[in-house]
Amino acid sequence: MSKPRFYVTTAIAYPNGRPHMGHAYEVVTTDVVARFKRLDGFDVRFLTGTDEHGLKIDQAARAAGKPPKAYVDEMVAPFQALDAALGISFDRFIRTTDTDHKALVQALWQRMAANGDLYLGRYEGWYSVRDEAYYDEGELVAGDDGTKLSPQGTPVEWTVEESWFFKLSAYQDRLLALYEAHPEYIQPLSRFNEMRAFVAGGLSDLSVSRTSFTWGIPVPGDERHVMYVWLDALANYLTGAGGLDGEWWPADLHVVGKDVVRFHTVYWPAFLMSAGLPLPKTVFGHGHVLNRGEKMSKSLGNVVDPAAMVERFGVDRLRWFLCREVAFGEDGSYSDDAIVERTNADLANGIGNLAQRSLSMVAKNLGGVMPVRGEAGESEVRLKEAFMAGSEAYFAAMNALALHKALDALMSMVTAANGYFAENAPWALAKTDVTRMAEVLAATLDATRRIVILTQPFMPSSTAQLLDQLGVSAELRDFSGLNTPVAAGAQLPAPAGVFPRITLDS
């Protein structure tokens, strides 16, 4: 039987600066979803990459004194290095300067044109280079010094030029019907409500080409124009699916930040409808992560290099922290002390302690041989019940993309298992009843095995080490192996601590 498929994407980042924690957050959370789905029996395709055309990149390249292609070739490297450092399991890292992507975008344009949705006109209005977005006068806000700013607080400039337009206004009813029929299209609910209200307020046609610079994909048949960078960028999801009729399309999930939800839930489905293509199933808009609650900015000097954080704390501590501390869908904050405190509590004292105490007792008292389980007594029944509830909550939360709730559920299982161990005090039984001690250790190791299997999407590297120590064979590490305990009599390797406590100056 063939596996069900799951196609998941991140937004593609602008490589006009170094990657920051917001980028790390998005690729980590999406990687957690991709890994979860693989362990759950899906055939997964995971796409991430960089958004390399448009005025913003053109200007940054000029400021750096480099031709734009040479500039992006250089700037993409730290994004790829960050993905490697974070253990991101993508199937393709797409760059919008890739040849197959350019061809796809032009073909998409031609389908939209054939549907009668593109016409030549003149754009007169506001544009934010920072957001690469057009804004209506009514959307602008006043800055401190009275200048006009975009709703995201970025500078806008008055722009007048010949432009191709997309008949977005004609899609208002179809978009509202989409939201009505598929409320799961935009998640979480707060973003759904915001986007529905935006569309219900009326849509203007969208300028989809520019003539005042050349760094973009040429419009087929009118090469004085390059395509609007968001049309180019959104189409990356089709390129990554294998083309206009790609085998992976439609996407099951686009994970994007809250600031780009509008592009993914208004423009993108309208472009796809125009081209006669199926729509993605869900766009999930996550919140922003802020350094000690403050927006990261070069002028505040609080832009943190996520690669340095990986170096300092270890990849799995950072991954764990980002998923545990920040409710997925809401904004969150990070700081060095919060990372130390959180990971010491959950990993050193929680999961690590559970694994190390039981494994080292097996090594010391039983020669590292996996013990035999006994008849379930009252405390084993309680442990089993806690695990059934915990595991059900974990799967429900993961399937609802509530990553933080899945980790609450996992921690409830850790607490139950540590409680079972403390209550049955195998270290005391070592002196009075070795058979019972062995049974308690067997039950604790099996509880640990289940927890570690479920933790894999969040901390792939340290869970692999723990599963080695627990004697779990490679083919029993996915969720189909959850109910298969390690056979009694198996020789376990020598245990070694995986989550030592850390301090602020470590």
Selected range binding ligand MSP among 85-93, 194-202, 231-239, 270-278, rule: CB under 6 A:
231-239
Please say which residue, 238 or 386, places its beta carbon nearer to ligand MSP: 238
Q: How far is the CB of 233 from ligand MSP (least distance, A)?
A: 4
Q: With contact defined as beta carbons under 8 Å apart, do 441 and 449 qualify?
A: no
Nearest to ligand MSP of 22, 460 (CB atom): 22
Pick one of 6, 7, 8, 13: the residue that binds ligand MSP (CB under 6 A).
Answer: 13
Site string for ligand MSP, 370-409 (x = CB under 6 A): ----------------------------------------
Examine residue 188 and say whether the peptide bond preceding it is cis (omega within 30 degrees of 0).
yes
Nearer to ligand MSP, 23 or 102 (CB): 23
The CA-atom distances, in angstroms, between 44 and each of 6, 40, 103, 253 are 5, 10, 25, 11
Position closest to ligand MSP via CB: 257
Whether residue 493 is preceded by a cis peptide bond, meaning omega within 30 degrees of 0, is: no
Verify binding: residue 305, ligand MSP, rule CB under 6 A: no
Q: Judged by CB under 6 A, which of 155, 257, 374, 419 binds ligand MSP?
A: 257
Instruction: Enumerate the β-bridge partners of residue 92.
Output: 47
Using rule CB under 6 A, residue 25 touches ligand MSP:
yes
Looking at residues 274 to 293 of the shown chain, list those that interact with ligand MSP (rule: CB under 6 A). Answer: 288-289
Provide DSSP, 232-270. Answer: HHHTHHHHHHTSTT-TTPSPSEEEEEGGGHHIIIIIHHH
Query: Hey, which residues between 33 and 92 contact ligand MSP (CB under 6 A)?
Result: 51
Smaller CB distance to ligand MSP: residue 26 or 58?
26
Minimum distance of ligand MSP from residue 172's CB (angstroms): 22
CB of 26 to ligand MSP, least distance (A): 5
Residue 259 interacting with ligand MSP (CB under 6 A) = yes
Q: Pick from 133, 233, 273, 398: which binds ligand MSP (CB under 6 A)? A: 233
Least distance in angstroms from the C-beta of 493 to ligand MSP: 39
CB 201 within 8 A of CB 238: no
Distance CA 302, CA 145 (A): 24
Task: Give the CA distances from residue 457 to residues 326, 338, 352, in Å, rounded to whole numbers and listed in that order.
Answer: 16, 22, 17
Cα(151)–Cα(133) distance, integer angstroms: 11
Question: What is the gyration radius of the CA atoms in the chain, in angstroms?
Answer: 26
Which range in 8-16, 109-117, 178-186, 427-435 contacts ligand MSP by CB under 6 A?
A: 8-16
Choice between 23 and 477, CB closer to ligand MSP: 23
Alpha carbons 296 and 304: distance in angstroms, whole number: 8
Helix (H, G, I), strand (E, B), or coil: what is residue 337? Answer: helix
Which H/E stretch holds residue 136? none
Q: Which residues are registered as beta bridge partners of 253?
A: 8, 282
**# binding residues, ligand MSP (CB under 6 A):** 19
Region from 256-264, 276-284, 434-442, 488-496 binding ligand MSP, contact rule CB under 6 A: 256-264
Q: Given the complex with ligand MSP, which of 47 and 348 has the nearer CB atom?
A: 47
Applying CB under 6 A, which of residues 39, 129, 253, 256 lies at the interface with ligand MSP? 256
Quick one: how far is CA 8 from the chain centroid?
A: 9
DSSP of 167-179 = -GGGGHHHHHHHH
Interaction between residue 260 and ligand MSP (CB under 6 A): yes
At closest approach, how far in Å is the CB of 444 from ligand MSP? Answer: 38
11 sits near ligand MSP (criterion: CB under 6 A): yes
Of 379, 458, 369, give the one whose Cα is nearest residue 423.
379
Assigned token pair, 499: 């989550």
The closest alpha carbon to 358, from 415, 409, 427, 412, belongs to: 427
- Rounded least distance, CB 403 to ligand MSP, Å: 14
445 makes contact with ligand MSP (CB under 6 A):
no
Going by C-alpha positions, the residue among 438, 419, 421 that lies closest to residue 430 is 438
Site for ligand MSP, rule CB under 6 A:
11-14, 22-23, 25-26, 51, 233-234, 236, 256-257, 259-260, 288-289, 296
